[in-house]
Amino acid sequence: MEQRKLGQDGPMVSAVGYGAMSFTDFYGPANDADSARVLDACLDLGITHLDTSNIYGMGRSETVIGNWLRNRGGVCPFTIASKVGITRDPEHRFNNAADHMAQELDASLQRLGVEAIDLYYVHRRDPRHEIEEVTATLAEFVKAGKVKAIGYSEIAPSSLRRAHAVHPIAAVQSEYSLSTRSPEMGLIQTCAELGTSLVAFSPVGRALLTDRPHGLKEAKNMEFLTKNPRFIEPNISANLAYNAKFRALAADMDTSAAALAIAWVLQKSQEVIAIPGTRSIAHLNELVAGGDMTLTEDDINRIEAVLPIGWAHGDRYSTTQWEGPEKYC
């Protein structure tokens, strides 16, 4: 698989990483033994980058990864990213205070069983703390040897510039796919200018860009999707109609819809690293196949003719889900 640099001075990682939110019950019941088998498959398929968070299953995702590493004798074949900043406190859903982040970092290190986390993100910004202050705290973690590089999730280009002025920002995580193209309005460009990777989560649009999209029935069994505008009527029916056209195009191009979606997002910029999540090893193979595809200009034009910018019906988040991510366009 193609390798891309994670940040200006970071390690080379696979262009397709793995999003380990799938090791939790976020999209339905998860099984730790199955999650371990997915990690085995990641290794076999050449995936070298794992993305997790302290909040995913309240530490469960990190624990699954840590147990898998311990069963291998503690040798880590992956570049691991984790995050801090989202809490279960209804009064303060986001916490970027230095003492809180330090405590959570130590807990993540213990769960993962590693001496240092390769990339440590602030998952959501806390309005009580300026980004320069938070970045200085993260820089102290680097100086202490507990973190190798730092990043932010769901921030605006202007915030990235402010943070980068304090300490190099290796990566910004953002939703980016054929169904969510807002990063093209400044974030990708700023990442390229600063040498920051854009780590794209949900690159297959929460299954809307696959051959097995979630219909209304499936979405009703997933709490996050029951409130997501793209998965409620009338939007879901309109989005599934576009999905059918995209699946037909992928079949005509002799590939899967998921692979085609991954290939598209990777081809949009060399700064992009995709981190899809799945519990299916068969689906994981499709996703990785996208990392080995090269699309021609004609291919890109055909894809964007079927899914033109702005095709998705409904916002990517509900009003409540928008609490935390920064809007910039």
Backbone angles phi, psi at 156, to 5 degrees: -80, 160
Report the Cα 38 to chain-centroid distance in Å.
17
d(CA 81, CA 241): 36
Name the token pair of 141. Answer: 């973690």
Q: Round to whole Å and give the CA distance between 246 and 208.
A: 10
Tokens standing for residue 207: 């299954």
- Cβ neighbours of residue 98 closer than 8 Å, sequence gap 6 or more: 137, 140
Could you tell me if 86 and 324 are in contact, meaning their C-beta atoms sit under 8 angstroms apart? yes
Catalytic annotation present for 56? yes
Can you tell me which residue has the tokens 């998952």? 123
Give the ranges where the chain is alpha helix by DSSP (H).
Answer: 32-45, 60-71, 98-112, 131-143, 157-164, 187-194, 216-219, 223-226, 235-252, 257-267, 281-291, 297-306
Q: DSSP 3-state helix, strand, coil percentages of the chain (rounded to 5)?
A: 45, 15, 45
Classify residue 265 as left (phi > 0), alpha (psi -120 to 50) or beta. Answer: alpha
Distance CA(103)–CA(108), nearest Å, equals 9
CB 273 within 8 A of CB 198: yes
Considering 18, 56, 176, 317, which one is annotated as catalytic? 56
Report the catalytic residues.
Answer: 56
